[in-house]
């Protein structure tokens, strides 16, 4: 496990990023910047490399070539969190799952339990906090994953298609939680298939096509007139 | 087991079927609970449980470590671990015997022909089994959790502990497999223990002795008692596990 | 909470071992043979010794050869076996202090009641074996380093049979103790040389019975030796010597003589003689 720094991890600057796995080039020549305080969305077709990019930004996948810098430093920052499409919860209670995450960053005892309960309350899971996490519904599990991330008070929160497996009601709940977390000062980096969701939430859009970042545009401009032809084609197909 | 000897002779006079003999005999053995038999059962249990605990303490972390850590020749280590599940008990017994013999490197401890030697031999036998099986169990759990644990920046030691606890129900079965092997094994314990009456005679070695004396009904009956014991333990473990699942999740 | 229960259980088991190990009083390890154990002599003999001296006797019962090997490694205090040649060799190596004859029993020739080789008509045991070889009747041999096997080989030699050349499918070498060899003979309906004690105590007889006995050559002498403490400092010299002294004493000898199966005496004490 790489050493993590304690300093600010923003902005995240990516230069000429290339990621190769085996014979496949997953990302190439990616240049982008994640600015503090923004809600940055990564959009693109299936296999465009969105999930890979998120994992590089979060330090889970090392670049084959190119550089990623967090807050000017090459050391991976410790105060980030990530929520995946399918929540990976431990076989213990919801509360214990959140407390576990806090223990990983060295917060223990009553302070940890208090922070955990606050986070669970914020996502509306007080009632089921003591139940085994794995018996919760899909929507509840994803909210628990968010509570876990929230309790960490991260500088950056990554979300990889967090509502892809959820019904509209649960999707709405997740989105409102993301808004709340953002309101507390966390920078959001998110991928989604759901363009309506992107329209609702995005401040900034990074568009990926076949592993290349064709543009990084403020959201309101992107949806009206994207800079790249690939993005325009993508928006066209999604519309139909 | 004097009363048993008397019963045995009367059964021989009737020349009944060996299997039928053994069933009635095994019931009698359980009900009467001859003190010598009770001592043998007690020693069997203490030895098997003791060696299982040691194997779990050593084997589970090793299995988890091999499952999670990345290092060169990992595939070879996994293959070797799996191969060691098939270690012949009698070979392990022989090796431990040579180690513990007065003429051997650890002779000064005077452990040969004591229950301690049997626990050592069985632990050597079962630890690879527990390590190999837990490696597979933890690896499956790791596939599910590895991104999340790395996202949380959990250190290696924490990951091992977390995965062992998370896969605890499957690991309970692994430990029970180890216990089953310990309780049923005879090749190693008879060599390092010497099957000494009252000191290192356990269920399996007693069965071997009665068989070699030609007393097949008694040997079978003891075997049935042993099976019943192991079955009872497994049922208890299952009940405990189901209760824990409901209570704790 | 669960972790504490687990830890407590673990400590309890370890503690129970520690306690039981510490509770051992005076004891000696005697390497002896399967025939002495399986004849049932020890459960009759040893409690009397322990009552007289307070010394526990732990018997490791294997074949004579293996018993002597155990002693050579220093893992036993006393050996109690029945192969004079091997015992003399043991003494010659300086591994034992002195040999004392203790008792004798006899071997019997076991075989199918139908007696296909006509052994019952033999004049002596050598003639019996010749008949078996001539008829190529199935014969089970222990073929281990036991006193019984050594005796068997002696008889073949005396009978003028070169067993290495003569052995064929009829001669089955099991490499096992007396009991397992008897099991095999019973299943195969074969002839086998056995000591009377093990045979009388053996229950899986099938169709076998004693077909020849009584030849003086079949007498089987037992000797006891203290393992040499000069070679193996860990040997419990004083306790081991007490055991030997008791075995050859009038008390020990009378206990040996009093062991009977179905009213029949198995072992005949003869300490003090040159056997």
For B35-86, what is each residue's pLDDT tens digit?
A: 888 999 999 999 999 999 999 999 999 999 999 998 999 999 999 999 999 9
Main-chain phi, psi angles of C210, to 5 degrees:
-75, 125
pLDDT cut 70: percent of chain C above it? 93
Q: Which residue numbers in chain C have pLDDT < 50?
A: 1, 22
Show Cβ contacts of residue A229 under 8 Å, excluding neighbours closer than 6 positions.
none
Contacts of A90 in chain B (CB under 8 A): 145, 162, 165-166
Say what the pLDDT of residue B23 is.
83
| CB of B242 less than 8 A from some CB of A | no
Q: Which of A2, A58, A88, A116 to mutate to test the interface with B (most CBs of B within 10 A)?
A: A88
State the pTM of this model.
0.86
Decide: C258 and C51 in contact? Cβ < 8 Å.
Answer: no
The alpha-carbon radius of gyration of chain A (Å, integer) is 18
Which of residues C260 and B29 earns the better pLDDT score?
A: C260
Say what the pLDDT of residue C203 is.
86
Closest CA to B51 of B165, B154, B188, B159: B188
In the numeric block, which tokens belong to residue A51? Answer: 């999930």
Contact A88 B147 (CB under 8 A): yes
ipTM for this prediction: 0.91
Alpha carbons within 13 angstroms on the beta-carbon side of residue A120 total 22
Closest CA to C173 of C204, C147, C152: C152
For B99-118, what is each residue's pLDDT tens digit?
A: 999 999 999 999 999 999 99
Decide: A204 and A38 in contact? Cβ < 8 Å.
Answer: yes
Contact B152 A92 (CB under 8 A): no
Compare CB distances from A1 to B147, B148, B156 and report the shortest one's residue: B156
Contact B212 C34 (CB under 8 A): yes
Contact B101 C183 (CB under 8 A): no
Taking the CA of residue B152 and the nearest CA in chain A, the distance in Å comes to 6
Main-chain phi, psi angles of C215, to 5 degrees:
-60, 135
Angstrom distances, CA of residue C4 to CA of A93, C1, C10, C143: 19, 5, 10, 54
Mean pLDDT of B204-229: 90
Contact C179 B214 (CB under 8 A): yes
Taking the CA of residue C273 and the nearest CA in chain B, the distance in Å comes to 31
Distance of CA A165 to the CA centre of its chain: 16
Main-chain phi, psi angles of C68, to 5 degrees:
-65, -35
In this complex, the chains that touch C, judged by 3 or more CB pairs closer than 8 A, are B
Give the range among A21-35, B140-154, C22-36 with minimum mean pLDDT: C22-36
Say what the pLDDT of residue A2 is.
47
Which of residues A240 and C69 earns the better pLDDT score?
A: C69
| CB of B17 less than 8 A from some CB of A | no
Q: Where on the phi/psi map is residue A36: left (φ > 0), alpha (ψ -120 to 50), or beta?
A: beta
DSSP state of A194: -
Contacts of B237 in chain C (CB under 8 A): none
Nearest CA in chain A to B154: A104
Decide: A90 and B162 in contact? Cβ < 8 Å.
Answer: yes
Contacts of B202 in chain C (CB under 8 A): none
């Amino acid at each position: 496990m790489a050493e993590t720094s304690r300093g600010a991890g923003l902005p995240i600057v990516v230069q000429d990023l290339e990621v190769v796995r085996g014979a496949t080039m997953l990302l190439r020549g990616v240049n982008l910047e994640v600015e503090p305080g923004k809600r940055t969305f990564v959009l693109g077709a299936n296999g465009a490399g969105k999930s890979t990019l998120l994992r590089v930004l979060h330090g889970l996948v090392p670049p084959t070539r190119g550089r990623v810098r967090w807050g000017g430093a090459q050391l991976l920052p410790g105060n980030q969190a990530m929520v995946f499409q399918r929540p990976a919860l431990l076989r213990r209670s919801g509360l214990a799952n959140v407390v576990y995450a806090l223990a990983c960053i060295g917060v223990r005892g009553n302070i940890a339990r208090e922070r955990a309960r606050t986070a669970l309350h914020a996502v509306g899971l007080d009632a089921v906090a003591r139940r085994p996490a794995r018996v919760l519904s899909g929507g509840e599990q994803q909210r628990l994953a968010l509570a876990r991330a929230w309790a960490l008070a991260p500088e950056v929160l990554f979300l990889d298609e967090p509502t892809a497996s959820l019904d509209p009601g649960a999707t709405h709940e997740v989105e409102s939680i993301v808004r709340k977390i953002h309101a507390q000062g966390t920078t959001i980096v998110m991928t989604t298939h759901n363009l309506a969701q992107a329209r609702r939430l995005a401040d900034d859009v990074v568009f990926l096509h076949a592993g290349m970042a064709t543009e990084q545009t403020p959201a309101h401009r992107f949806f009206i007139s994207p800079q790249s032809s690939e993005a325009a084609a993508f928006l066209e197909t999604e519309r139909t | 087991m004097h009363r048993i000897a008397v019963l045995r002779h009367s059964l021989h006079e009737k020349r009944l079927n060996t299997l039928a003999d053994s069933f009635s005999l095994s019931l009698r053995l359980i009900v009467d609970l001859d003190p010598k038999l009770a001592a043998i059962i007690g020693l069997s249990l203490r030895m098997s449980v003791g060696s299982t605990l040691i194997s779990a303490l050593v084997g589970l972390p090793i299995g988890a470590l091999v499952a999670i850590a990345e290092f060169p020749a990992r595939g070879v280590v996994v293959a070797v671990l799996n191969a060691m599940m098939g270690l012949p008990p009698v070979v392990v017994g022989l090796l431990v015997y040579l180690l513990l013999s007065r003429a051997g490197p650890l002779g000064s401890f005077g452990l040969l022909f004591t229950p301690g030697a049997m626990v050592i031999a069985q632990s050597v036998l079962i630890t690879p089994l527990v390590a190999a099986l837990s490696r597979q169990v933890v690896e499956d759990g790791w596939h599910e959790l590895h991104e999340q644990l790395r996202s949380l920046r959990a250190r290696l030691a924490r990951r091992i502990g977390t995965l062992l606890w998370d896969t605890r129900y499957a690991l309970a079965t692994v430990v029970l497999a180890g216990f089953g092997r310990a309780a049923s094994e005879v090749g190693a314990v008879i060599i390092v223990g010497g099957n000494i009456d009252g000191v290192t005679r356990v269920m399996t070695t007693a069965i071997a002795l009665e068989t070699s004396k030609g007393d097949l009904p008694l040997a079978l009956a003891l075997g049935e008692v042993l099976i019943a014991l192991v079955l009872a333990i497994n049922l208890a473990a299952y009940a405990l596990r189901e209760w824990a699942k409901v209570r704790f999740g | 909470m669960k972790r504490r229960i687990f830890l407590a259980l673990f400590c309890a088991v370890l503690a129970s071992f520690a306690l039981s190990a510490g509770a051992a009083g005076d004891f000696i390890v005697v390497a002896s043979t399967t025939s002495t154990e399986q004849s049932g002599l020890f459960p009759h003999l040893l409690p009397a010794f322990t009552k007289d001296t307070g010394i526990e006797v732990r018997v490791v019962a294997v074949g004579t050869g293996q018993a002597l090997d155990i002693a050579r490694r220093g893992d036993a205090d006393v050996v109690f076996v029945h192969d004079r040649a091997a015992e003399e060799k043991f003494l010659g190596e300086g591994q034992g202090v002195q040999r004392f004859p203790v008792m004798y029993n006899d071997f019997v020739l076991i075989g199918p009641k139908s007696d296909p080789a006509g052994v019952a008509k033999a004049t002596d045991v050598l003639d019996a074996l010749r008949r078996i070889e001539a008829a190529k009747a199935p014969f089970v041999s222990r073929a281990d380093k036991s006193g019984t096997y050594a005796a068997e080989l002696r008889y073949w030699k005396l009978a003028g049979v070169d067993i290495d050349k003569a052995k064929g499918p009829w001669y089955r070498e099991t490499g096992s103790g007396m009991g397992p060899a008897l099991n095999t003979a019973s299943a195969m309906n074969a002839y086998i040389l056995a000591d009377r004690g093990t045979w009388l105590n053996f229950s899986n007889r099938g169709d076998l019975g004693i077909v020849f006995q009584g030849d003086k050559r079949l007498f089987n002498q037992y000797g006891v030796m203290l393992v040499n403490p000069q070679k193996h400092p860990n040997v419990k010299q004083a306790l081991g010597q007490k055991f030997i002294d008791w075995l050859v004493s009038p008390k020990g000898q009378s206990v040996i003589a009093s062991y009977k199966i179905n009213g029949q005496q198995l072992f005949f004490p003869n300490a003090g003689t040159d056997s």
